[in-house]
């Protein structure tokens, strides 16, 4: 028989994943502590003891999201032999990842918090930093295309990276609004048609 007063144990990673999916579906401000404790299967004192605060929990959940969700998007960007193929693969994997039916649609990093929040902006600042890091990954792949001679010396890698990051953010909103994978793939086709103009191959 367990000792009286011993703290109740729980699977911290499983609880974190439940919190992540709730934040992903409802955003930081839209998620209440009551919803978090119910989804995670723990009491409020246990949540605070394990994670510190709602803000700290969200930050840890977004870090967990970055490490476990949509990793194939960025792998596709790195592994493609050309910048053109890299961008197309990046967008196609985005369409697949954002439209899965067994988890919230869209992207937590894009949709988790867009306005200054009750954490005095810490949540928005963190998500803004993560979006900037994603932009940098696109930028580096495009700069590699220039360095390898695939893209012309005057190619504006920063503008192209911003364009394709913006397309991805728009796909996140489309997915959240219920767009199917096929609908998102149509967006990919349009974005890749724009590539010809950006790369001077029209």
- Give residue-wise pLDDT tens across range 75-85: 999 899 999 99
CB atoms within 10 A of CB 195: 17
Residue 108 CB partners (closer than 8 Å, separation 6+): 20, 23, 24, 61, 62, 65, 69
DSSP 65-85: HHHHSSHHHHHHHHH-SSHHH
pLDDT given at position 120: 61
pLDDT given at position 202: 53
pLDDT given at position 150: 94
Cβ atoms of 82 and 144 within 8 Å: the answer is no
**pLDDT confidence of 73, banded at 50, 70, 90?**
very high
DSSP letter at 106 equals: S
**pLDDT confidence of 196, banded at 50, 70, 90?**
confident
Instruction: List pLDDT tens digits, range 22-69.
Output: 999 999 999 999 999 999 999 999 999 999 999 999 999 999 999 999
Residues 111 and 12: their CA atoms lie apart, in Å, by: 24
Q: Record the pTM.
A: 0.89
Instruction: List pLDDT tens digits, range 118-169.
Output: 556 889 999 999 999 999 999 999 999 999 999 999 999 999 999 999 999 9
**pLDDT confidence of 200, banded at 50, 70, 90?**
confident
Q: Which structure tokens are listed for 77? A: 């960007």
* Residue 3 scores a pLDDT above 80: no
Nearest one of 188, 186, 176 to 87, comparing CA atoms = 188
């Amino acid at each position: 028989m367990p000792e009286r007063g011993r703290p109740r144990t729980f699977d911290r990673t499983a609880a974190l994943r439940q919190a992540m999916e709730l934040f992903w579906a409802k955003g930081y401000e839209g998620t209440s502590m009551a919803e978090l404790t119910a989804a995670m299967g723990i009491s409020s004192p246990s949540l605070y003891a394990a994670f510190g605060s709602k803000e700290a929990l969200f930050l840890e959940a977004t870090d967990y999201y970055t490490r476990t969700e949509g990793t194939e998007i960025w792998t596709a960007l790195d592994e493609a032999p050309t910048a053109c193929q890299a961008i197309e693969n990046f967008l196609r994997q985005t369409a697949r990842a954002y439209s899965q039916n067994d988890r919230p649609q869209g992207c937590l990093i894009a949709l988790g918090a867009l306005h200054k929040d009750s954490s005095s902006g810490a949540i928005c600042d963190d998500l803004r930093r993560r979006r900037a890091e994603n932009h940098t990954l696109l930028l580096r792949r495009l700069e590699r295309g220039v360095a390898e001679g695939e893209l012309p010396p005057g190619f504006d890698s920063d503008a192209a990276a911003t364009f394709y990051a913006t397309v991805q953010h728009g796909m996140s909103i489309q997915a959240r609004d219920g767009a199917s994978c096929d609908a998102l793939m149509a967006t990919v086709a349009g974005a890749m048609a724009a590539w010809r103009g950006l790369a001077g191959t029209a």
